[in-house]
């Protein structure tokens, strides 16, 4: 029973952490994936032409989202087809609740040829905790 509990806790912990294949915004990556804290993400969101994508469910999006973001649910069928409608040359900022789904989305988007994808470390929870605006 103890082993089961330990395995369960390890699984839950692993699911709440962003992918380890990304780097901080202080370094560049060969894949074009960046990991940004709230301050860096907010500054990037001010840049002209940036695309902000919320990869949570539609219900989560309706409960509150970052200004100027669009909802493309990573768990919904057709996610890859829907993100293909974005401009691959322009920077994409992605976020979710805590950073796990958006890290996975960033990896997928990079694999699809997006030049620069930035994941919000800590997701919308970190954003809101920092007192940033939520619509």
Q: Which of 52, 74, 92, 96 is catalytic?
A: 96
Contact of 32 with 114, CB cutoff 8 Å = yes
Q: CA angle, 113 as apex, 52 and 66 as ends, to 5°?
A: 10
Q: Is 96 a catalytic residue?
A: yes
What is the spatial distance between Cα 23 and Cα 81, in angstroms, rounded to a whole number? 26
Taken in order 89, 91, 97, 101, the sign of the CA dihedral is positive
Active site positions, annotated: 96
């Amino acid at each position: 029973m103890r082993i089961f509990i330990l395995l369960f806790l390890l699984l839950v912990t692993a699911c709440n952490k962003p992918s380890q294949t990304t780097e901080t915004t202080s370094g560049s990556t060969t894949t074009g994936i960046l990991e940004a804290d709230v301050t860096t993400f907010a500054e990037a969101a001010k840049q002209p032409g940036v695309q902000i994508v919320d990869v949570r469910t539609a219900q989560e999006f309706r409960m509150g989202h970052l200004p100027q973001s669009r909802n493309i649910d990573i768990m919904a069928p057709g996610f890859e087809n829907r993100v293909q409608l974005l401009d691959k040359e322009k920077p994409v900022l992605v976020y979710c609740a805590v950073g796990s789904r958006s890290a996975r989305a960033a990896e997928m988007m990079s694999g699809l040829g997006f030049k620069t994808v930035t994941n919000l470390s800590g997701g919308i929870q970190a954003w809101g905790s920092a007192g940033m605006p939520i619509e």
